[in-house]
Structure 1
Amino acid sequence: MTTTLVLGGARSGKSALAQTAAESHAREHGGRLAMIVTAQPFDDEMAARIARHREDRGGLWRTVEATHDLPAALENLTADDVVVVDCLTLWLSNLMLAEQDMETAADALVAAVGKAPCPLWLVSNEVGLGIVPENALARRFRDGAGRLHQRLAKAVERVIFVAAGLPLTLKG
């Protein structure tokens, strides 16, 4: 089993890379493709974006919605699954909006990733490359994402950073 953290900026190509890698793995080794999604359709534009992503994946993919309890979704995986989680920063946003403890949730996620019985790609936005945000909420989000990424980077076998559609392997 290989677990991979795929980091990059918005529209960097990280999701496409993870999806392509999972599809390739499933073709070569077998397995059921599953996309665990964390986005919530709070407005019409986001609902359309979600629908477009689902259509782009096509019928090969089973979609699992895990807007808040991502660790539980991972715990339900089997050895026959090939999984992409997209994306961790939206999941953190959902937790913040629901006023849930990000550290406790991160503990549960790291534990679930460590027990994943199948190939797993975790997609997340690297938000710590810019200036320090001017407001406390944005700083809390950036810091939470950075801490989560560091913990996951230690826990997974492979870490890839994507910029302009080009992957840079950081680990593995």
Structure 2
Amino acid sequence: MARGQLIFISGGVRSGKSTYAETIVRTFGTTRKVYIASGQAYDEEMKERIERHRDDRLQDNWFTIEQAHKMGNAIEKLQPHDLVLWDCVTTWLANELYEGWETNNMCVDTAGCIEAKWESLQETIDQMLNTVDLLTVVSNEVLDDFVRDERYQAWLGKIHIWLVEKADQAIEMENGLAFRRK
């Protein structure tokens, strides 16, 4: 079975990385376009923003999967030959690391918790690549994010290194310009 292509795109906030990723997916082929969204609505403003983005994608014929946690659950919603855009690693990582913050029992403070989630994510990406024709993964730069926690930055760096090594193409975005790093 042929493996799907993996494209990893990283860039600063408002670098144009998500728009560029959408363009890649649109021009890659004619099969179903799938958008995996990692955002969560913690307040009304975020809820409205998520709904607006979902409606915009629907008008452009995207199938949206809302998957803030447990990325493996998205696999059952994928079809062979889908063209997938996952936006974004940074949001997923924050969701997973700080899961349990409401009860002061965060994953990041629990031995082995994030390691298990990371292992599951690696397996999930491999499974996705065995199903879809294209998986485009978007992420913010390691030090250009809203989370100022060294543990978060270290995990994001580790994930980026793995994705760059695994990717068929690795692209860095800056001011709307794409620079291929691999």
TM-score for both structures, normalised by structure 1: 0.86
**Which residue matches 1:161?**
172
Distance 1:75-1:4 versus aligned 2 partners, 3 A rule? farther
User: CA-atom RMSD, angstroms?
Assistant: 1.8
**Which residue matches 1:45?**
45
Contact 2:57 2:64 in 1 (8 A): no
**Which residue matches 1:65?**
66
1:54 to partner: Cα distance:
1.9
Distance 1:67-1:129 versus aligned 2 partners, 3 A rule? closer
Alignment of 1:134-145 (within 5 A): 138-145=149-156
Could you tell me which of 117, 120, 135 is aligned with 1:120?
A: 135
Amino acid at match of 1:169: R
1:25 to partner: Cα distance:
1.3
Contact 1:18 1:84 in 2 (8 A): yes
Give the distance between the partners of 2:98 and 2:62, measured in 1 at CA.
28
**Which residue matches 2:117?**
105
What percent of counterpart residues are identical? 33
Contact 2:34 2:65 in 1 (8 A): yes
Contact 1:74 1:113 in 2 (8 A): no
Unaligned ranges ≥5, structure 1: none
Unaligned ranges ≥5, structure 2: 100-105, 108-112
Give the secondary-structure state (helix, strand or coil) at the position aligned to 1:124.
Answer: strand
Alignment length (residue pairs): 162
More displaced 10-residue stretch of structure 1: 37-46 or 96-105: 96-105
Contact 2:33 2:83 in 1 (8 A): yes
1:77 to partner: Cα distance:
2.5
Give the secondary-structure state (helix, strand or coil) at the position aligned to 2:181.
Answer: strand
1:80 to partner: Cα distance:
2.6
Amino acid at match of 2:42: F
Amino acid at match of 1:166: L
Is structure 2 residue 25 aligned with structure 1 residue 17?
A: no
Give the secondary-structure state (helix, strand or coil) at the position aligned to 1:71.
Answer: helix
Give the distance between the partners of 2:165 and 2:76, measured in 1 at CA.
20
1:129 to partner: Cα distance:
5.9
1:47 to partner: Cα distance:
1.7
Give the distance between the partners of 2:114 and 2:17, measured in 1 at CA.
23
TM-score for both structures, normalised by structure 2: 0.81
Distance 1:104-1:75 versus aligned 2 partners, 3 A rule? farther
- Which stretches of structure 1, 4 residues or longer, exceed 4 Å deviation after superposition? none
Give the distance between the partners of 2:161 and 2:77, measured in 1 at CA.
25
Amino acid at match of 1:108: S
Contact 2:57 2:63 in 1 (8 A): no
Distance 1:159-1:111 versus aligned 2 partners, 3 A rule? same
1:79 to partner: Cα distance:
2.1
Give the distance between the partners of 1:14 and 1:106, measured in 2 at CA.
23
